[in-house]
C-alpha cells in the first residue's frame, strides 16, 4: 500500500503485485528531537549564530520590519512570530513594528489565510503590510553582481532593523529556501524578480536543489539581502508533518548556511532511476496549485528514466496557480516548442512565471506526467499531462504505458523535501553546499 500526503490528508493505493516497488525516504522522516518547536526557536534566539541577540539589535531601532512568508509556505508563524515580536520588544518596548508579508510576485493572502497563519491576536493587534511587487514607490538599490537592478519595498528600505522569518527546504533552482530569499524575491520589484529568474539562470547546471556554490540565482539573492540591510533571521526546518525539528537564528548568511548544511545531511538521497516515479508535493500548502506541484515533479524527474512516467499527486484546490503559467501551456504549443521559445529569451525579456514553465516543460520533454488532483480532466490535459481520477487509476495507466510486466516503481512521499541524486552520479555527503 502506497500512502502520500495530499492536501490536508492522505491519498493511497495498492500497487500491482508484479511491480518492483521502492519507497525512498530521507533521514528527515526519521529524525527525532525531544524538544518542541517553540523551545527550539527560543534556544536559537538565545544563542544566535554570528551576531548579537535580536533584543540587543532592537535597542536603538525605532522602526522594525519583520519579513514573513506568504500563504504558499508552511512556515509555523503562529510559533515564530510571537517569539520575534517579544524579542524585539524585550530590547525596545516602544519599537514601531511592521510585519511585511513577502509575497514576491504571488497574489496577496486573504484575510482567512492571514488568520490561519498568525492567529486572531496578531492579525488584530499588529501592523501587517502585504508587499506589492508593482508598487510605484519601490527603492532603487543599485545593481547586483549579475547586472540585475534591485528594486526594494519602501517599508523595508526605511526600516532601522530588518528581520527575516522563514524555513529552509531544498529549492529546485535556488539550492535552498530561507535566509536571503525573504528579500529576493520576497520583497523586491517584479523586474528584479524576473531578471533573477531568467532562462539562462534557470538552465544553468548549478541552479539545482541542494547547491549554493556558483549558483548565480543564490549569489544575487545574497547580495540583495546585504543591500537591503537584512540584519537577523530566524529560520526553521520542518519534518513531513510540518513540525519544527531544528531552528537557526542570527546572521542572515552564516545562520542560513549552517541550516542548509544541517538539512543537506538529512535530505540527500540516492537511488537507481525507475520506469515510474510516484511523487507528492508534501501536501498542503505546497500542493495548492499546479504551479507549485512543478517542484515535486522536478525532483521526481531526476530519478525517472528517460521516457519514463511520473505520477504526481497534488490536490490543487487553488487551481492552476497563475494566469501567465496557465496561458503558456494553453496556446497550442508542445513542451519542446515552449522550452525552446523560453531559452531564446534574453535576460531582460523574462515573462511572469516563465521559470516554472521552463522547468515544467523540461520535465514534459523527457517524461510523461500523470496528474492526480481535484482539478478537472480538461484543466490537466491543457497542461499536457494525463489526467487520473485517483492514485490507483494513475498507477494502472502508468503500468500500461510502460508495456512492462514488471515495471520498476519508485515512490517519493515528500518529493519537495528531497535532494535526489541518481546512483550513477557523484553525491557528496559532507558539509559542502
**d(Cα 121, Cα 118) in Å, to the nearest integer?**
8
Q: How far is CA 110 from the centre of its chain?
A: 20
171 is catalytic: yes
Angle between helices 77-91 and 111-118 (to 10 degrees): 70
d(CA 209, CA 211): 6
Name the active-site residue from 71, 106, 251, 320. 106
Of 71, 131, 171, 197, the active-site residue reads 171
Q: How far is CA 65 from CA 58, 101, 118, 183, in A?
A: 11, 10, 16, 12
The C-alpha atoms of residue 166 and residue 69 are separated, in whole angstroms, by: 6
Distances (CA, A) of 400 to 198, 385, 394, 408: 38, 16, 10, 13
State the alpha helices, DSSP H only, in 204-289: 216-228, 254-267
| Relative orientation angle of helices 354-366 and 335-343, to the nearest 10 degrees | 130
| Closest to 123 in 3D by CA, of 153, 78, 161 | 78
Catalytic status, residue 218: no
Inter-CA distances, 77 with 166, 217, 259, 283, Å: 8, 26, 18, 18
Q: Which three cell numbers stand for residue 45?
A: 534566539
User: Which residues are tagged catalytic?
Assistant: 106, 171
Amino acid at each position: 500500500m502506497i500512502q502520500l500526503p495530499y492536501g490536508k490528508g492522505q491519498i493511497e493505493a495498492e500497487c500491482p503485485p508484479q511491480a518492483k516497488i521502492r519507497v525512498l525516504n530521507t533521514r528527515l522522516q526519521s529524525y527525532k528531537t525531544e524538544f518542541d518547536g517553540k523551545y527550539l526557536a527560543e534556544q536559537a534566539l538565545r544563542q544566535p549564530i554570528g551576531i548579537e541577540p535580536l533584543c540587543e539589535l532592537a535597542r536603538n531601532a525605532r522602526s522594525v520590519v519583520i519579513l514573513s512568508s506568504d500563504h504558499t509556505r508552511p512556515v509555523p508563524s503562529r510559533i515564530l512570530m510571537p517569539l520575534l515580536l517579544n524579542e524585539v520588544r524585550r530590547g525596545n518596548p516602544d519599537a514601531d513594528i511592521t510585519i511585511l508579508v513577502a509575497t514576491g510576485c504571488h497574489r496577496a493572502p486573504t484575510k482567512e489565510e492571514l488568520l490561519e497563519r498568525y492567529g486572531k491576536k496578531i492579525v488584530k493587534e499588529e501592523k501587517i503590510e502585504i508587499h506589492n511587487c508593482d508598487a510605484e514607490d519601490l527603492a532603487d538599490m543599485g545593481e547586483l553582481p549579475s547586472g540585475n537592478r534591485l528594486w526594494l519595498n519602501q517599508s523595508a528600505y526605511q526600516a532601522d532593523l530588518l528581520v527575516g522569518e522563514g524555513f529552509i527546504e531544498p529549492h529546485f533552482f535556488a539550492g535552498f529556501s530561507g535566509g536571503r530569499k525573504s528579500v529576493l524575491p520576497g520583497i523586491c520589484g517584479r523586474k528584479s524578480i524576473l531578471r533573477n529568474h531568467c532562462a539562462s539562470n534557470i538552465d544553468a547546471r548549478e541552479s539545482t536543489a541542494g547547491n549554493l556554490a556558483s549558483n548565480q540565482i543564490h549569489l544575487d539573492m545574497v547580495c540583495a539581502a546585504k543591500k537591503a540591510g537584512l540584519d537577523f533571521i530566524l529560520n526553521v526546518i520542518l519534518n513531513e508533518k510540518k513540525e519544527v525539528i531544528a531552528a537557526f537564528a542570527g546572521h542572515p548568511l552564516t545562520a542560513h548556511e549552517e541550516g542548509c548544511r544541517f538539512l543537506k545531511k538529512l535530505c540527500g538521497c540516492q537511488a537507481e532511476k525507475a520506469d515510474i516515479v510516484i511523487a507528492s508535493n508534501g501536501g498542503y500548502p505546497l500542493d495548492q496549485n499546479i504551479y507549485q506541484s512543478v517542484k515535486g515533479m522536478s525532483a521526481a524527474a531526476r530519478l525517472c528514466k528517460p521516457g519514463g512516467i511520473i505520477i504526481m499527486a497534488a490536490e490543487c484546490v487553488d487551481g492552476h496557480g497563475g494566469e501567465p503559467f496557465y496561458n503558456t501551456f494553453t496556446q497550442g504549443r508542445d513542451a519542446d516548442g515552449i522550452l525552446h521559445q523560453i531559452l531564446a529569451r534574453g535576460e531582460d525579456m523574462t515573462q511572469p512565471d516563465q521559470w516554472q514553465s521552463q522547468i515544467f516543460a523540461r520535465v514534459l520533454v523527457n517524461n510523461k506526467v500523470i496528474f492526480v488532483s481535484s482539478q478537472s480532466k480538461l484543466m490537466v490535459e491543457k497542461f499536457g499531462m494525463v489526467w487520473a481520477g485517483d492514485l490507483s487509476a494513475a498507477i494502472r495507466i502508468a503500468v500500461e504505458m510502460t508495456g512492462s510486466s514488471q515495471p520498476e516503481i519508485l515512490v517519493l512521499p515528500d518529493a519537495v523535501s528531497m535532494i535526489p541524486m541518481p546512483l550513477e552520479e557523484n553525491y557528496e555527503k559532507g558539509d559542502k553546499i
